[in-house]
């Protein structure tokens, strides 16, 4: 266990730590951006829920319901029930930040409705990713202590599914934001002065996915290097 999480391991210091710091910075950026632009209200006084509905309507997508959920920035689209769930800080808020986040989640609903290929791939590998996230590290750990290199390789392979999932997530998230911003502008739900603020919030949010991928990729490279070193 110490080998996997040793903060003084050169591989950890060179590969994992810098990406962890970037991920922390990205998380701070999305929090601070949302807080900043939550103070700027839209001229049309549309709530997040109303904006999501308008974005769906503009894209010709029907059958999607919008619900309010507890928490802060817990917004997500559930394709199984075809529901956009908006957090308390987004659902009833009329800020440019809330409208941007709500429109982004509507963008995911549009992706599913239009059969966006990357999101199909991501959905298909979710079962493998769930297994990989739970078993990868335990298998690597057991393999290291028992010198069972086949087990280590299986663990690394499973962890690779997590990295693949996060890699595919990037174009999915960027595309959802692109759809959101385009529709918000084309439908005049936001003015030209308001649109950049929403875009900044969504860009900051996208960086958190970049950070998560960077951390996982660094950890994968570290595991591969550790495996080769022990051989």
Please give the C-alpha separations between residue 227 and each of 3, 62, 145, 204, 215, in angstroms, as whole numbers.
11, 50, 12, 35, 18
Q: How far, in Å, CA of 42 to CA of 89, rounded?
A: 15
Sorted by sequence, the CB contacts under 8 Å of residue 182 that are 6+ apart come out as none
Sort strands 83-87 and 65-69 into parallel, antiparallel or unpaired. parallel
Catalytically annotated residues: 105
Q: How far, in Å, CA of 187 to CA of 200, rounded?
A: 19
Q: How far, in Å, CA of 137 to CA of 225, rounded?
A: 15
């Amino acid at each position: 266990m110490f080998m996997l999480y040793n903060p003084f391991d050169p591989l950890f210091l060179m590969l994992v730590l810098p990406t962890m710091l970037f991920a922390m910075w990205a998380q701070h950026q999305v929090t601070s951006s949302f807080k900043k632009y939550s103070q700027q209200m839209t001229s049309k006084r549309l709530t997040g829920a109303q904006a999501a509905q308008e974005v769906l309507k503009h894209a010709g997508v029907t059958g999607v319901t919008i619900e309010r959920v507890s928490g802060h920035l817990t917004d997500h689209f559930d394709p199984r029930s075809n529901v956009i769930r908006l957090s308390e800080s987004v659902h009833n808020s009329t800020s440019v930040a809330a409208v941007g986040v709500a429109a982004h989640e509507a963008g995911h609903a549009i992706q599913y409705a239009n059969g966006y290929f990357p999101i199909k791939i991501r959905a298909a590998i979710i079962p493998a990713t769930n297994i990989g996230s739970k078993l990868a590290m335990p298998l690597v750990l057991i393999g290291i202590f028992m010198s069972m290199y086949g087990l280590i390789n299986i663990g690394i392979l499973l962890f690779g599914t997590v990295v693949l999932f996060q890699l595919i997530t990037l174009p999915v998230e960027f595309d959802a934001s692109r759809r959101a911003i385009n529709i918000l502008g084309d439908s005049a739900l936001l003015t030209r002065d308001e649109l950049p603020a929403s875009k900044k919030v969504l860009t900051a949010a996208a960086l958190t996915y970049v950070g998560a991928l960077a951390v996982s990729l660094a950890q994968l490279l570290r595991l591969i290097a550790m495996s080769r070193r022990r051989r």
